[in-house]
């Protein structure tokens, strides 16, 4: 179990700005680039897909990472993106967040 106050909360308001922040904060140092060219409308449509969910881990009130779930055909749910902001890696948050995402999927 991670130390401190860790909460995993669903981001229920679709905000492309917040999603892009999470994407770049988590993936910047590991070269996530596939979404960087997306327009605001493309982000919006991606986040509004029926069944799509974004769950954010907050460590002491600060976003630490996220898991984005993407519904597929046949009732399958894929973990589309998952990761931690570099400052929060190595604190036992990732395993906890991933387990939560797998349960939700």
pLDDT band at 55 (very low <50, low <70, confident <90, very high): very high
Q: Please give the Cα distance from 67 to 29 (Å, whole number).
A: 17
Whether the Cβ atoms of residue 30 and residue 64 lie closer than 8 Å to each other: no
Helix, strand, coil shares, percent, the chain, to 5: 40, 30, 30
Residue 44 pLDDT > 80: yes
Q: Is the pTM of this model over 0.75?
A: yes
Whether the Cβ atoms of residue 69 and residue 79 lie closer than 8 Å to each other: yes
User: What is the CATH topology of the domain spanning 6-104?
Assistant: Aminopeptidase (3.40.630)
pLDDT mean across residues, the chain:
93
């Amino acid at each position: 179990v991670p130390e401190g106050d860790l909460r995993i909360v669903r981001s229920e308001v679709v905000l492309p700005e917040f999603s892009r922040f999470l994407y770049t904060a988590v993936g910047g140092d590991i070269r996530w680039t596939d979404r960087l060219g997306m327009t605001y409308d493309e982000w919006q449509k991606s986040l509004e897909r029926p069944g799509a969910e974004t769950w954010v881990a907050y460590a002491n009130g600060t976003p630490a990472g996220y898991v984005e779930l993407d519904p597929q055909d046949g009732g399958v749910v894929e973990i589309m993106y998952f990761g931690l902001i570099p400052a929060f890696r190595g604190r036992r948050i990732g395993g906890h967040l991933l387990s939560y995402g797998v349960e939700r999927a």
